[in-house]
């Protein structure tokens, strides 16, 4: 199997500093800091042969921060919730998030989109990660972050949902064709349509879903 | 979510209010399938004007009701779609498969 990956420093994003083959990547990874690393793996550069097995590469990718994270400040924590995986709790999260998104300056339509995305994500956790068990933990954190994008610094709402359920099936994460009219399978489509960034990872026995929605309105200047 | 049923000749109108989500959509599904499959109601009309929220599990219940209505040769009609409901149906690209009326008068017309 031949795999190659471009490994780049976050501060030289436009210029790859190293190109490693798969064996080199595995040698390099043990020395790679995990979280808060200045390195990241550009997953779009990962290739595999027809008979190749990507499972090991998927494992190592999970140790690394996604591309956007390298350009994101940790921002300020706005809200953190720890909830049981009980469908009755969904309305609690929706109500809190709706208020939070409105306070941040999202439009009414954007607030509805964010609420729908988080509700669908939590529904997926309850149904697929916890298989309907209503007493497992879900952690949700909401931060205001600043993201460097297209040469500009943008404010955004970052939502991270974590669960300790079964690993999500990557094939199911692809959603389904909407032309296929049948009940179910719409949740992921709603999430992707509603948010600007949707990233799934599994770390240390936890599923983590990171959702980002950019704020299009500017914060009022202090004192104005 | 609350469901209240009204009966007009061979038509049943279900007035639905509140949130349709993972916790409540099974109740909607059950009510729809009972009207369509068990009671063989010729026309089932859903009044969605007081629905505050609907998610994909709610849409799935509506799709299941639609399929049941086609199976038994009856009609499932929606009316009173507010912005929230309409947005979600549009997002699902399923808005065109449902029979949607502007108001109750249209939905019960012969």
- What pLDDT digit, counting tens, does each position of A80-106 carry? 999 999 999 999 999 999 999 999 999
Q: How many C-beta atoms lie closer than 10 Å to residue A158's C-beta?
A: 22
Q: Is A60 left (phi over 0), alpha (psi -120 to 50) or beta?
A: alpha
- Say yes or no for a CB contact (<8 Å) between B87 and A126: no
Question: Which of B23, B63, B87 minimises the CB distance to A183?
Answer: B63
Sign, CA dihedral A35-A38-A44-A46, equals negative
Q: Is A165 on the interface with B (CB under 8 A)?
A: no
Angle at Cα A141 formed by Cα A153 and Cα A42, nearest 5°?
55
Question: Which of A123, A182, A193 minimises the CB distance to B57?
Answer: A123
User: pLDDT value at position A113?
Assistant: 96
User: pLDDT value at position A116?
Assistant: 97
* Residues B56-71 pLDDT 10s: 999 999 999 999 999 9
CB A80 within 8 A of CB A142: yes
Half-sphere exposure of A195 (CA within 13 A, CB side): 27
* Residues B19-76 pLDDT 10s: 999 999 999 999 999 999 999 999 999 999 999 999 999 999 999 999 999 999 999 9
User: pLDDT value at position A148?
Assistant: 77
Task: Give contacts of B93 with chain A, Cβ < 8 Å.
Answer: 178
Ranges of chain A with pLDDT below 50: 1-21, 33-70, 219-224
Spatial CA neighbour of B51 closest among B41, B37, B61: B61
Task: Give contacts of B19 with chain A, Cβ < 8 Å.
Answer: 91, 94
Give, for A83, the enclosing helix (H) or strand (E).
strand A76-84
Angle, to 10 degrees, between the axis of helix B56-72 and the axis of helix B25-33? 10
User: pLDDT value at position A216?
Assistant: 80
- Say yes or no for a CB contact (<8 Å) between B61 and A109: no
Report how far residue A73's alpha carbon sits from residue A87's, in angstroms, rounded to the nearest whole number. 33
């Amino acid at each position: 199997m031949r795999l190659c990956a471009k490994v780049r420093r976050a501060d030289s994003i436009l210029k790859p500093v190293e190109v490693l083959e798969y064996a080199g990547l595995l040698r390099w990874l043990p020395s790679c800091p995990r979280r808060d690393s200045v390195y990241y793996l550009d997953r779009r550069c990962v290739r595999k042969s027809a008979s190749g097995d990507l499972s090991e590469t998927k494992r190592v990718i999970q140790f690394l921060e996604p591309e956007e994270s390298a350009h994101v400040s940790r921002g300020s924590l706005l809200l953190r919730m720890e909830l049981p995986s009980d469908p009755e709790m969904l309305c609690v999260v929706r109500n809190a998030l709706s208020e939070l998104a409105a306070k941040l300056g999202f439009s009414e339509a954007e607030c509805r989109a964010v609420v729908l995305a988080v509700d669908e994500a939590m529904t997926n956790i309850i149904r697929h990660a916890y298989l309907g068990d209503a007493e497992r933990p879900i952690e949700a954190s909401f931060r205001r972050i600043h993201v460097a994008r297209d040469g500009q610094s943008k404010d955004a709402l970052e939502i991270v949902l974590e669960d300790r359920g079964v690993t999500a099936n990557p094939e199911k994460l692809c959603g389904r064709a909407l032309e296929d009219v049948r009940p179910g399978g719409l949740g992921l489509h709603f999430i992707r349509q509603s948010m600007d960034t949707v990233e799934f990872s599994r770390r240390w026995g936890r599923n983590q879903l990171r959702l980002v929605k950019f704020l299009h309105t500017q914060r009022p200047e202090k004192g104005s | 979510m609350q469901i209240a049923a009204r009966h007009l000749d061979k038509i049943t109108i279900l007035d639905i209010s509140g949130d349709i989500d993972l916790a409540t959509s099974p109740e909607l599904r059950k009510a729809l399938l009972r009207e369509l499959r068990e009671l063989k109601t010729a026309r089932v009309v859903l009044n969605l004007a007081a629905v505050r929220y609907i998610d994909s599990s709610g849409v799935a219940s509506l799709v299941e009701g639609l399929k049941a209505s086609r199976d038994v040769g009856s009609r499932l009609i929606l009316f009173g779609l507010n912005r929230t409901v309409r947005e979600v149906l549009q997002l699902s690209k399923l808005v065109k498969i449902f029979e949607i009326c502007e108001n109750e008068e249209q939905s019960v017309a012969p």
